[in-house]
Chain A
Amino acid sequence: MAIGKIHSWKKVTAQVILLGIPTIVLACYLLWDANRLYNILQNDWIKQGAYFAAGIVASLVFYSYRFRFIATTVLLLGIYYGAYKILGNFNVGEFDAFFASVQFLLFAVLFSAGWLTGYGFSRSRYYTVFWSVFLLAIQIIVVSKTSDFKAGDIIGAFAPVLAYAFYIIFTAELIRNMNEDETHFGWFIAKRMLGFGIVVLVLMLAILNIFQDDFKAIEKEWGNAQANYDKGKGNSESMTKNNKDGSVSNKDQTKLTSSLNKGKRLVFVAKLDNFFPNTETPNPLYFTAYYYTKFDTLTQTFEIDTLMPDNDLFRPDPSKIPLLFAKKDSGVIKNSHGPLEHKVVTAEVYKVLLSADEFIAPSTAFFCQPIPVANEYKDQYKSAYRAKMWVSNLNSAYFIYNPAGNQQLEQFQEQRFEELRTVKDFSEVDKKFRDYYTFMPSNADYDSLRILAKQITANAKTPVDKMIAIRDYFLSKDEFDQPLFKYSDNPGVPGIPSASKLNYFLFETRKGYCAYYAGATLFMLRSLGIPSRLAAGFLTIDRSSKNPGWYWFYEDQAHAWVQIFFPGYGWIDFDTTVPDVNTQQAPQPDETPPLNMQDAYFVADGTVTEIDTISKRLKLDVNRILFHDKDYETTTAQNIQLDVSLATVSRDTGTVRLGEVKKGMHITAASYAEALKNITANDNDSLLSIFNKLVKPVPVDQIKIIDPESAAQQKKKEAEAQQNPTDWIRVLWITLSIIAGLTVLAFLMPWFIWQYFNTSARNAKDTKQKAFNSYRASMYYLNQIGYSRTNFGPNEYARMIDGNFKTTFSSFSNVYQKLKYSSLPLSERENETVQTFYRPFISNVNKQVPLKTRVSRFLNIYNTISYFAQSKNK
């Protein structure tokens, strides 16, 4: 075994820079990634990366000499063993010894990995393929270990490895074929790298294009993460979301996270006409935006299910309803299943930050009517609506928050619990309905929750008593007379990402925010067979003694709580979130409520046909009017002239100038004019007959522009997209199939190129083109099946091929050379040679090479790369 150099210093340098460094960078990245997941790694990725780097560089330099692999590996193992033994002798306390040996093992593994990789790069042609597959396999294992899927994780795990795989396979072959005497070596490499970069870029763009929708979802996820990050908190969640136009909406999903972001801004103000029976004492109700009936165990997120049985969620878009016209859905009353102890309650909501298209009202809302905001409040409140709800007498915001010593309230609670105790079980509830609302994931994590629920409610007979028992459990004190559970916006997450956050909350930290309390309560109730669901919206706090029935809602009042279904009584709210001792007081004092507008006598909804901003006249094509609170409609639009000199114009964004009203706009015009007060309509009147009664032009006080392309609509689309929350398992599958597809594509690449060359060779007509294409196709084909030209001259090579296959390649090659380098025209015979050479030649070669060999050789991408790279200098 003579020791001599196999690679020149140039080649070794190229290997270290072009193969070693990217590999080290990737390895560092993977180690960093793995460090986040595995505690044993001690979060020391820089050192570990250095071990690997040392291994790979040492090996690249070492194996550029003529050393044998097996002998040197045995030697290396021997050195490891010796070093391990020596380490054992430095006995400096048991723990240190253990620590040192773990460190040494880590070093040995990483150094060996680097060493092996260096050997592969230096000596083995096919190593890069195994190495890439190995890295991908590692990433698949790492990703599948986490259950907290995020787009970032998947892309972060696979994209670099994939890009690296393509890079390393290509570059390793390039360097293998590198001609050390190439004069412009740097330029040669740079040119090919550039070409490779462009190909990769095109591929990536194509993929992005094909899977655009999926990536948009991913992008959105990233966008959110970024937004949260900007607020200075990494993995935090907010109960509300900020829309692009600066408004605020409730989120239609709530994820259990390590911390909660809360703003302090005023979102809306509401007047709720709900009082305790026969008293003047307001009975606040929680304002509901959504019901979460589903829990995604994988992401630990509560979600909306549009398929929930007997859907009783009324979701109109107030910005799309013409001013003062109402939208109702009586179906939700039926679906709320609450015939007993119910009444209709009215609420008026004045929006401040709340998005124009949001509709929030206590359960169960069935009516929505946008109402005008009085001029003096227009700056403060952007829009308002009136809602009507089918509300149970037994419902109340008071459950966990019980103002102590309020006799009236205590009496009310006792009364309603007494009433609800009549519900003993849920046997009469429709089975499908019951099954849906008592569904629980069958996971070992939930068994401990089930046991706890049983334990807590051992003495409770009826469902409502069980609920009270759970509330009391959350309010109970420990042996040191400290509250067992605390409120916290930053409950943290369990160390293991896939562990149940609810269990972590219930049994370990015992602190959390509303979603934790509501979630834990929900599953305890469901484990006891009580149909229940999560409601999300706003917590109602009665702070105002000056204005009974008026409530102020700030961002930090966004809330989640539990609703229990009582047959006959419908859904009742129960909040189990313990009070936050730190923020008992409202951050801002309530202000004066907006004055109510008088009722309009005449409201017209239609399209502007003419507008004159100087004389302040406006013509409207009207389909629908409201006259003295009566609705009239017509199928053929009627034109009417309006006097808008006194009118205030508003949009969803607030008050605007009259000039913004344009021809063709959809508007609603309302009039409070005294002139209309005494004009009455009877039952026989139609829209047209009312028009005839009116004074012309009709004086108008309010104009509301209904924007067709409002931000609201866009947001609705977003909301629709969000109703199908990104399914990360699917994304994982897509990613894996992209990888598989790309791999297959890479292996089929030689075949595709061959198809292209072959077709162009067969189809060329012109002699020159035919000759060139035939020659190129033949050369490529021969190269691919293992007869590479290396450094033969063309004629030499052709004669070698002819010797192997008994073909006429050399005569064709000669003609081709003549065509290429001579200025003389071809003779008849030479022309014929060009035209007739190709097909018989290929079929002749085909016959002599077994199909199996051809297929396997054609899968060999290395041959293709070396064909396009330079001929090897042997």
Chain B
Amino acid sequence: MEQQIQLDQALENIQKLVDNIETVIRGKRTQIQFILTALLAKGHILMEDNPGTGKTVMAKTLAQSISAKADHTGVNFKRIQFTPDLLPMDLIGSHIFDDIKKEFIFKKGPLFCNVLLADEINRASPKVQSALLECMAESQITMGDITYKLENLFFTIATQNPIEMEGTYPLPAAQLDRFFIKIIFGYVDEETELDIYKDYLGIESNLQHIQQVLSMDEILFLQGETEKVFIHEEIIKAVRNIVWGTRRHADIVLGASTRSGITFLKCLKAFALVNGRSFVTEDDLKLITSAVLDHRLIYRNKEAKQKAIAGILDAELARLSKLNIGN
């Protein structure tokens, strides 16, 4: 039985957030939904595209919409610009000697925050990358003997330039797995682009004057509600079939793991809630599969990359669409 969800309140919160972001970012409804999905699923998101498509603006807008300005109800937002010479301790923090107390104290790095924008993550060295990704997975940092817990809410928005660009260190597949969702940001359509040009000044000022609309508690509340979204057994079966499908597929070298499957289910729940539903449908499956699974798989060739997942998904959707109403 589905748990009673405070759907109206949840929806109201989500809507507020989306509207707020859309005052700055235009024509990116799908991407916004994916980002919120990752946020609500207690995961992290990776955005990839060419420079100048609005990735950073997007991350900043989201962060500002939920981060604290004056009061303490908002979340703590930090931004790190990754460069090749960045060191792990620049992220985590370091022990420094306190002259007064005559002892080493731990100076927390930018990782100790609620929302982290890791810009151009693939420009940093692998050492730094793995330090970040480890924190994302464990939600804690260990320095020597002491383990520091990260905040309750820890959401990373990473951006990266396409792998082919110069001066980048591609992330290994095992580390990409830490990101719940990877989206291609993409260009806006022609009309929206025209709109953006017409009042680019307006957008600039919007970004500066963006208001905090949700408090930390409200975000945690939404995360809690996400857990309660109902997944029908057939959908779970479909997820299982898709995961197995990637392992059996001739054109996929490395298939999805069981952890990927669990992540997939979490994302489905969050995505359903973002779309205003307390249950998961075929549509959710259809829209989110590629974003959740694509970056976890290693394909045999480029052609397969475009077709393999779609093929597996279509077979599963066809099966679902013919099912009778079961219970």
Contact = CB atoms under 8 A, between A and B. Distances in A.
B279 A823 contact: yes
A870 B308 CA distance: 16
Nearest to A791: B314
Contacts of B2: 822-824
Q: Is the interface of B mostly helix, strand, loop or mixed?
A: helix
A824 B280 contact: no
A768 interface: yes
A820 B310 contact: no
Interface string B220-235: 0000000000101011
Contacts of B245: 181, 183
A873 B308 CA distance: 10
B168 interface: no
Interface string B301-313: 0000001101110
Interface string B279-310: 11111011100000000000000000001101
Interface in A770-794: 771-772, 779, 789, 791-794
Q: How large is the interface on A (under 10, 10 to 19, 20 to 34, 35 or more residues)?
A: 20 to 34
A659 B130 CA distance: 105
Nearest to A793: B286
A183 B248 contact: yes
B278 interface: yes
A102 B213 CA distance: 88
A179 interface: yes
A871 B311 CA distance: 10
A665 to B, nearest CB: 64
Nearest to B313: A791
B232 A821 contact: yes
A14 to B, nearest CB: 15
A180 B311 contact: yes
B283 A817 contact: yes
Given A772-B324, A820-B323, A820-B325, A181 B310 contact: yes
A791 B232 contact: no
B1 A823 contact: yes
Contacts of B249: 181, 183
Contacts of B310: 181, 791, 873
Nearest to B1: A823
Given A181-B249, A873-B311, A794 B321 contact: yes
Contacts of B307: 180-181, 873
B283 A794 contact: yes
Contacts of B279: 818, 821-824
A871 B318 contact: yes
Interface in B50-101: none
B282 A793 contact: yes
B317 interface: yes
Contacts of A769: 325
B230 A823 contact: yes
**Residue from A819, A822, A871 whose CB has the most chain B CB atoms within 10 Å:** A822
A713 interface: no
B325 A819 contact: yes
A872 B315 CA distance: 9
A795 interface: yes
B282 A871 contact: no
Instruction: Name the residue in A179, A181, A818, A873 with the highest tally of chain B Cβ atoms < 10 Å from its Cβ.
Output: A181
A865 to B, nearest CB: 14
Contacts of B324: 772
A182 interface: yes
Contacts of B235: 821
A181 B312 CA distance: 6
A796 interface: yes
Contacts of B325: 768-769, 771-772, 819-820
Contacts of A179: 311, 314-315
Interface in A154-185: 179-183
Interface string A822-843: 1110000000000000000000
Contacts of A183: 244-245, 248-249, 312, 315
A820 B232 contact: yes
Contacts of A181: 245, 249, 251, 307-308, 310-312, 314-315
Interface string A789-827: 101111110000000000000000000011111111000
A768 B310 CA distance: 30
B69 to A, nearest CB: 38
Q: When A and B form their complex, which 10 residue pairs have the shortest distance between CB atoms, in order from nearest?
A: A181-B311, A793-B286, A822-B279, A793-B283, A821-B232, A817-B281, A795-B283, A823-B2, A871-B318, A768-B325
24 contacts: A179-B311, A180-B311, A181-B314, A181-B315, A183-B244, A779-B321, A791-B314, A792-B286, A793-B317, A794-B283, A795-B281, A796-B286, A819-B325, A820-B232, A821-B235, A821-B279, A821-B282, A822-B232, A823-B1, A823-B327, A824-B278, A871-B318, A873-B310, A873-B311
Interface of A: 179-183, 768-769, 771-772, 779, 789, 791-796, 817-824, 870-873
Given A771-B325, A822-B277, 13 more contacts: A179-B311, A180-B311, A183-B248, A183-B249, A793-B282, A793-B317, A794-B283, A795-B281, A818-B279, A821-B234, A821-B282, A823-B1, A870-B315
